[in-house]
């Protein structure tokens, strides 16, 4: 199997889907001539031309409206919103049009659009370019939310998102772009989690960059004879509750790690859903998230703000003690 970094896996998925289906178009700010601010679309403009890969003005609402319009008239648009922090500007078109149109047309017209967006802290981008906006969209019916943690999943899940007939938010954590991993042609389905480390003492459920932090924490906990099972959720909506519940029935403890504010976050939804299905198996369940503050720019403060490996391990030790 070839080894790729995360950004190359994203580019390869886009390349393959553009080649496979002439209805697929790709557009966004600086994604064509410049090849993307994070170099995820380099060479695609030259290969497919300005009618299928093109740059746009800086107007997220206009871009989301164009994606909706092209999706309901036969195309399969892939839109890049450069930073997830600015998805709030696309809310009306995404939430009030794209996610409801299949329902409003009595299931006659689907809306196959994918919005790629860069998210996450730890890169010293400051409070307005580092947020994790998953919780803004968790309560929106008709919308799927995907967050890969490895190059293999980045490619497979992006291809699955583009082929899906529903609106999909595809989040790419900026701290993962340089990560290397083996990538093959194995397809993936949205809504399926993966057990990436087996254990018997506590389940850690998380997504994106936090998967790597959880694995590092699990390694540290193993030195204390605490065997943590780590679940990569991969898709946050729909949630693969079955995989999480099966793990909790074995470990009896659940820690949900979320890079995002503890209040109103998706970690609370995971805990509530698991509690409804597996309350009799739970001895303990809790969230490990960020404080309810803006993301600091100062490197020491940003590092302390995030739920990194040391904090995950320390909080699990404290709860088990």
Residue 129 a catalytic site member: yes
Q: What is the DSSP letter of 34?
A: S
Map out the domains of the chain with their CATH numbers. 3-182 (3.40.50.970), 194-320 (3.40.50.920)
pLDDT of residue 1: 79
Asked if 111 contacts 161 with a C-beta cutoff of 8 angstroms, the reply is: no
pTM: 0.96
Rounded to whole angstroms, the Cα distance separating 247 from 50 reads 48
In tens digits, the chain (321 residues) has pLDDT values of: 799 999 999 999 999 999 999 999 999 999 999 999 999 999 999 999 999 999 999 999 999 999 999 999 999 999 999 999 999 999 999 999 999 999 999 999 999 999 999 999 999 999 999 999 999 999 999 999 999 999 999 999 999 999 999 999 999 999 999 999 999 888 899 999 999 999 999 999 999 999 999 999 999 999 999 999 999 999 999 999 999 999 999 999 999 999 999 999 999 999 999 999 998 899 999 999 999 999 999 999 999 999 999 999 999 999 998
- Longest CA–CA span in the chain (Å) reads 60
How many helices (H) and strands (E) the chain has is answered by: 12, 14
Helices (H), the chain: 6-20, 44-48, 60-72, 91-93, 101-104, 134-137, 151-163, 209-222, 241-251, 266-278, 299-305, 309-320
**Which entry of 7, 52, 116, 129 is annotated as an active-site residue?**
129
Asked if 290 contacts 262 with a C-beta cutoff of 8 angstroms, the reply is: yes
CA distances from 2 to 39, 180, 183, 234 (A): 20, 10, 6, 22
């Amino acid at each position: 199997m070839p080894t790729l970094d995360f950004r190359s896996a994203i580019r390869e998925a886009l390349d393959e889907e553009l080649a496979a289906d002439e209805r697929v178009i790709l557009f966004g700010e600086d994604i064509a001539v410049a090849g993307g601010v994070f170099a995820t679309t380099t060479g695609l403009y030259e290969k497919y031309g300005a009618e299928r890969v093109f740059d746009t003005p800086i107007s997220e609402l206009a871009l989301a409206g164009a994606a909706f319009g092209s999706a309901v008239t036969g195309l399969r648009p892939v839109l890049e919103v450069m930073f997830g922090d600015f998805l709030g500007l696309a809310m009306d078109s995404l939430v009030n049009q794209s996610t409801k149109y299949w329902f409003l047309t009595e299931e006659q017209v689907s809306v196959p659009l994918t919005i790629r967006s860069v998210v996450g802290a730890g890169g010293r981008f400051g409070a307005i370019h580092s947020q994790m906006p998953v919780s803004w969209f968790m309560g929106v019916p008709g919308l799927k939310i995907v967050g890969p943690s490895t190059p293999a999943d980045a490619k497979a899940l992006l291809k699955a998102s583009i082929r899906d007939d529903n609106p999909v938010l595809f989040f790419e954590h900026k701290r993962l772009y340089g990560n290397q991993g083996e990538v093959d042609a194995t397809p993936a389905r949205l809504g399926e989690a993966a057990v990436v480390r087996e254990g018997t003492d506590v389940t850690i459920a998380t997504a994106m960059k936090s998967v790597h932090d959880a694995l590092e924490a699990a390694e540290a906990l193993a030195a204390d004879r605490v065997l943590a099972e780590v679940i990569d959720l991969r898709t946050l909506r729909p949630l693969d509750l079955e995989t999480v519940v099966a793990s909790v029935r074995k470990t009896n403890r659940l820690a949900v790690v979320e890079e995002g504010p503890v209040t109103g976050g998706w970690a609370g939804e995971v805990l509530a859903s698991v509690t409804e299905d597996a309350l009799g198996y739970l001895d303990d369940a809790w969230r490990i998230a960020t404080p309810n503050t803006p993301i600091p720019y100062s490197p020491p403060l940003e590092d302390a703000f995030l739920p990194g490996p040391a904090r995950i391990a320390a909080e699990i030790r404290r709860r088990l003690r």
